[in-house]
Each structure stands twice: as C-alpha cells, then as structure tokens.
Structure 1
C-alpha cells in the first residue's frame, strides 16, 4: 500500500479534550432559533420574511445575492419574533431571523420519500444544489455551486475529491458523520459527480483510517458507485488544499494518469447534497463537536441551525471551570466568540471551551531563535523572520520573502516555546502588503 504525503513540516496533533468519536447525540430542539443571513463569504442573503410572519420548517427565508452568497432556510417552524443584527467573529455585521418554535415540523419525524435523482440532468442537479443553499460545510462556507463551477471552468476533465482526512482532532464531528452516514455520503458523491460531469470520484483518506477506507471500498461496490481510494499521511495540515493537491499530483505521476481539475469537498457537504436531492431538504442541522477542557461532558451533537451555543454547552453539562476562551472551529484556526447567544451556522464544526492551562496563559516571551517554527512549516517559510518583518511594518519585504505562501495552518504557533502569534501576525502582514500594492 503506497502512502502519499507532503514532503516537509507538519505536526501530529492530539487533544484529549475532544468528544468521543463513537456516536452522535441529537441536540434538544431550540425554543428560539437565530438564523444568520450570512453563513457564506459573499453578500448577506436578502431577508424574505418580516416580524410576525409564520414560517415552516425548511422554508426559504433569505435569498442569496450572487457569487459567494447562498439561500437560507428556516430550521424550525414558528413565528418570526424579530430581525436582529450583530457583529460576526470575522468583523462583518449581519442580520438574523429570530424564530420562536411553534407548530408542526414538515421534515422531523416524518416518513422520508426518496426521489429518483438518476433521471435528473446535471442542470437540474445544480439547480437543486443552489436552491437548497448547499455550501462548503466549514469556514468560509463557499456555496457548493461556486466550487463546482470553479472546477468545471478550469478544465474539461474534472475529478471529485472527497477529503476524508481527519488530521485535526477537532474534525471529530465530520468523522462521526462519516461513520453514521457513509451511504448518504457515497450517494452524495455520485450525485455531485453527475452534476459536475466529473470523470472520477476520489476519496482521500489518511493511513490512520484504514478501516474506514475499507468500508468505503466495500459500500461503494454494494451501491454500484465507482470510486478510487488514495491513502495519505496523517500529519496536520495534510487536509489543507495545498497539501492535498501535492499528494494528488504525486498520485497522478505514480499512476501515469491525468485527473484534470479538482472539485474538492468534505463529507458533510456531500451528506447535505444527498439530503437536498434525494430528500428534498435544505441544510436544517449539522454535526457539531462540543468539548475542550472546560466542558463537563464533551459530545458530538446533531444540532439545528440557529441553536444558541450556550444551549449546546448546557446539554453537555455546562462548564467544569470558567473557560478562558471559547472558539468556534478548531483552536488552531477557529474564531473566538464573545457571546454564548451566538448561533450555530452551516459552517460550525466545533465549539471549544479552552482553559487557561490549554492556551498556556497570555504571557509571550522574546523569540529564542530556536528554529522550531521553520522545522514544522509545510511550505518551507521562515516564520520567525516574517514575524519580525511584520512587527516592523515591512510588509512589502515580507511578501518578497514569500509570505503570501503562508496559508495560516498555525503549525508554527503550536511549537513556539515563546508563545508568539506567528501565523496570525504573518497573515495580517500579508493583507496589509496586498492593500499597499493596490
């Protein structure tokens, strides 16, 4: 068995505070759901409902506005209490529709009628994917229709690439989903393959998940779906687009084949495609990992979109101790939240309540020139030098030393004994340098 991996740097990540990876638990239905109209990188969805209106489960309440924007649907039935606005963790301001739970559910607990998608054209499938608001189910939440169009616009030959690499422990929710909904993911891959006219479906899996790779091979044969499985290394950030494309190019060279352009997606997105096309259902819920050293009973929960983060923490027993920080997503690349009333969105993969011990306190020390950051950088940069240039405001010089190659994986920050914010500072410098060049 050949294992493909990127050539330099990276880390083997472990975290004992992640939830168990054995099963998911259905979260309590929210009494109030706050549905953000910005769950994607583009323009805020245009609100289609007003205060006092009654909505049904799955009803369209926000219409996407062009590239980068996606439709938004009600995750629960009920009455619109108000339209509110707040600042997102990334600095953008958004509106949200606050719905009070009332009435009966259209989807929950009802018998599921499966639609025969095989008779639909690629145009019809793309229309459904767009109408149901399917996005990349992690930050930044790029609309899946845009991802497909990007791939098909690059080359006549397209390969659908499914990232089943769990190099970050906080991807545990996607791992549990892959275990529980593997058939739906496989069928979702077949639907996406037809929608994008992909010639090949490739599942990329790390060598830590050989049993899952064997299940994919077996179930795909049972379902009559032809897939290729590629085994990679498990060092973080193997799942990142750049490192993933590195191993795909190695595979093409080794097998003397041409995969064309890549349409890269994750298992949660394909499960959402299945729900949209086969079940006629938009994204109403998602798997979310809730854990960290401050959480009493870490769990993977199946959560309705719009549920308060505080409600999920309560379902996990609340706090053992007062957390120092709470992040949405992995501690390496996630966003710090300021308010437990913030809602779950389509892109929320995890809620992590970190203790002071986990973050190592707030004290930073001077650089010791140890070189650890250079040894783990997967793109052969010198984070120490770029960091110092950034502090001096020499952003143009940093760009000349290939700072733009940094993709913010955070490996350098993990190993830095002085606890310097290397990666995040370099990323800020890149943005400043790009603005200065305009």
Structure 2
C-alpha cells in the first residue's frame, strides 16, 4: 500500500463505530405511501414549485425550479399526485416549505436510456449536471454545476474525489465505492472533461482496504493517455474528509483563509456525487434517491438503504423494525457534525448521509463546565483557530468580537468539542457567534 497521507494541523481520533453497517450491502427500501420533498435542498435560493395541488407527476419530472440566484431544479422521486404544497419538519430550521406527493404504486417504473457522453462538449455535460439537480452529496449541498465552473483566472490542474468518509458510523460512501466503483470512476472522467484536466486522485482512508482495492482496479482500467486516475490511501484521522484538509493531505497545497479550492488549482467532489453525475449525464436520471446509513444500537436493524428523497424517518424506522427501548438520541448526519432531532417526521434530503439511533452508552451526556484553559481545543482544531476564546466571548455577550479568533473560517467539524475535557459545547458557541456577528 502507498504511504498514508494526512493534513498537518490538528484532528482527532473518535471511535470509528462503522462495524454495524460496513459489511451490509446497499438495500433498496420500498417506497412509502407519501413523500415530503423539501424545496430548499441546496445552498442558495430554495426552489419555487412548478406544480400545483392535485397535479399528476411522473418520476423524474421537474417539480421545482430556481429562477434567480444559486440553485438547481428539484425532481419528483416517484410517480403520483401532488397532495399538498406546504411545510415539513426540518432538522435545522424546524420547518421548511415542501411538496407532498401521494405515491402511485401502480405506475410503471421509468426507464432511462444510456447515451454516449464522450461525444458531448464540456458545456453540454455541465448543462446535464445542472438539469439533473446535482448538489454536493457529501457536504452542505452546494450546486455542483457552479462548483464545476471555477473562475476563468483559476488554473485548475487536478480533480480530487473524496472517499475518506471520516465521520464515525457512516458507511454509505464505502458501500457505493465497493458496489458501484465503475460508475464513480466514470463520473470522475465526466468531471475531468468538464474541467479540462487529466489528473484525478481519489482519497480513501486506510480503514477501507477493500474500497481502496476495488476503486484502484476501476481507476487503473480507464487510465491511459490524457487520463490519469489514481487512488491515494489516507491516514485515519478526523476530519480527513474536509475539503481543505483533503487538499492539503493529497496535494500539499494550503487553501488560504476565506478562499475556495480553485484558488490552489483544485476541485473536490464526493465519490457519491460523482456517481450521481454519472447517472445524470449517461442516463439523464436526476438526483432523487440516495444511499443513507442507518446505524446505532438504538435501531432494531442497521442498514445502508437506497431511499427516495422525501422519505420520512418514521417510514425508515417502520421498515427496519422500529427502535429499541434504550434509544436515547436520534442524529441526522454523523455524530461529529450532525444535528440531534426530536421528531421522526423529518424527510430525507439530497444531503442526508446517515440517521443514527444512539443509546446512552453511545453518547456523552456529561454536563459541561467552565473552560479550564488546557489548550486541547487549540491543538485539535484543523484550521488553527481558537475555539475556547470564541466560546468565552460568546458567554460574555461579545460575539461580535470573535472574527479575530477565526470564527468565520470554522467549518464546525466538532474536533474541539470532542476533545474538550470540560465537555463545553464549542460548536454551538461557534454557531451562535456566527449568527450574532453577522447582524
């Protein structure tokens, strides 16, 4: 195996907790009776509905569009009837505008025909990505076609595919690399043509040797003149999969504060996003279903599920046999960057990576205390920030003074909170500081 690379500053080593689902093949979940599709599934302007109540829709048809501002279209995950245009529960915003579809289980499945993407121009490929509603599946949902349109003065020389999947519990990307390696690599080739680059490196943490092997073979099969795709094994360290940390680990380049990866000649895409790009370009299939890891000791049957966007957590719980009595907390996303939720009525979005059902022995409910000035959070922060000072200033009602400590460079990875011996909710302090400092 190649030497393991990693970023230089900070990072932590939380328990991996991937054993429950790492060996479980992707399982397609039956479609429930109804889907609730959130209109704002990406960074930027939320979609405006293009359908009305009681309209009949076909799987894959556009049901929402963004006319102005940053965004991508939204598509019907199923055939059925528009039941309502209202609001749905949301893990971060409490509620959000949505479209509810009553599923027609008698409708014939939509067939997508394969096309030869190699004859298309870069602009045609980019248009396909936009039309497919593709967003960054592994992150905050940034519209992919925008990310693949870097500033004209940026000299992009390589693509990085992120297969690190460094968050504990989550194995969705791992399974997709094992089961759909060819699609991921073909998606990488499409992205490379759009960007006009010939170099692609796929970063995978060394705790996934099977994925490194499978992806390495798939990459080698298509590499040749004008196309060099290689797998780079990475050290197991959180947050290895963060964009700036991945770039530094693999290329040695450091993205300046408040700058984009294109400033150092790199574009980063998640491996699952590359697979979605393959579907959108080769088959014309929009992004309306995704793989989600369901894990934790509080669920009766852990799984890696392929679910329709808009499927509610409650339907997933029912399908997997319910929760256990000792369930203590539900988290949408990973334990480091996810959000605890109190309702099962929240629908899956394009960026939902996992749902964790955790018991008391999987969480730390110790009350937090005052900062003891140990400095551990400074050592753990991969961005070299000062989390303790941000928190202290927030507590003193001086959030507007936290920019000097790098609050806007923080991507809320949670390394500081994880390592803090006083159990201080440092990520929550950072989020509060950002909100108050922007006023």
* Structure 1 residues 413 and 117, CA gap change in structure 2 (3 angstroms): same
2:4 counterpart of 1:3: yes
TM-score by length of 2: 0.90
* Structure 1 residues 277 and 17, CA gap change in structure 2 (3 angstroms): closer
* Mapping 1:242-253, distance limit 5 Å: 242-250=244-252
Which residue is 2:102 aligned to?
Answer: 100
Higher mean C-alpha displacement, 161-170 vs 390-399: 390-399
* Structure 1 residues 333 and 18, CA gap change in structure 2 (3 angstroms): farther
Alpha-carbon distance in 2 for matches of 1:63, 1:324? 39
Higher mean C-alpha displacement, 124-133 vs 153-162: 153-162
Q: CA deviation at 1:211?
A: 4.1
Contact 1:159 1:260 in 2 (8 A): no
Partner SS state of residue 44, structure 1: coil
1:282 to 286, 295, 301: 286
Greater helix content: 1
**Unpaired stretches in structure 1, ≥5 consecutive residues:** 253-257
Alpha-carbon distance in 1 for matches of 2:118, 2:151? 21
Alpha-carbon distance in 2 for matches of 1:43, 1:404? 21
Alpha-carbon distance in 2 for matches of 1:202, 1:365? 43
Q: CA deviation at 1:333?
A: 1.0
Q: CA deviation at 1:248?
A: 3.7
* Mapping 1:199-210, distance limit 5 Å: 199-210=198-209
Alpha-carbon distance in 1 for matches of 2:48, 2:308? 21
Which residue is 2:61 aligned to?
Answer: 59
Which residue is 2:257 aligned to?
Answer: none
Which residue is 1:16 aligned to?
Answer: 17
Higher mean C-alpha displacement, 70-79 vs 191-200: 191-200
Partner SS state of residue 327, structure 2: coil
Q: CA deviation at 1:133?
A: 0.6
Moved over 6 A (4+): none
* Post-superposition CA distance 1:254-298 (Å, at most 9, x none): xxxx99522111011111111111111111310001122311221
2:132 counterpart of 1:128: no
Structural RMSD (CA) = 2.4
Contact 1:290 1:313 in 2 (8 A): no
Contact 2:293 2:354 in 1 (8 A): yes
* Structure 1 residues 272 and 433, CA gap change in structure 2 (3 angstroms): same
Alpha-carbon distance in 1 for matches of 2:365, 2:289? 35
Which residue is 2:378 aligned to?
Answer: 374
Contact 1:18 1:298 in 2 (8 A): no
Alpha-carbon distance in 2 for matches of 1:251, 1:375? 21
Alpha-carbon distance in 1 for matches of 2:3, 2:369? 43
Contact 2:90 2:347 in 1 (8 A): no
Contact 1:13 1:167 in 2 (8 A): no
Which residue is 1:255 aligned to?
Answer: none
Alpha-carbon distance in 2 for matches of 1:87, 1:113? 36
Which residue is 2:52 aligned to?
Answer: 50
Count of residue pairs brought into register by the alignment:
426
2:399 counterpart of 1:409: no
Partner SS state of residue 170, structure 1: coil
Which residue is 2:258 aligned to?
Answer: none
Partner SS state of residue 28, structure 1: coil
Which residue is 1:332 aligned to?
Answer: 336
Higher mean C-alpha displacement, 230-239 vs 174-183: 230-239
Which residue is 2:259 aligned to?
Answer: none
2:166 counterpart of 1:167: yes
Alpha-carbon distance in 2 for matches of 1:157, 1:96? 37
Contact 1:17 1:298 in 2 (8 A): no
Q: CA deviation at 1:14?
A: 1.9
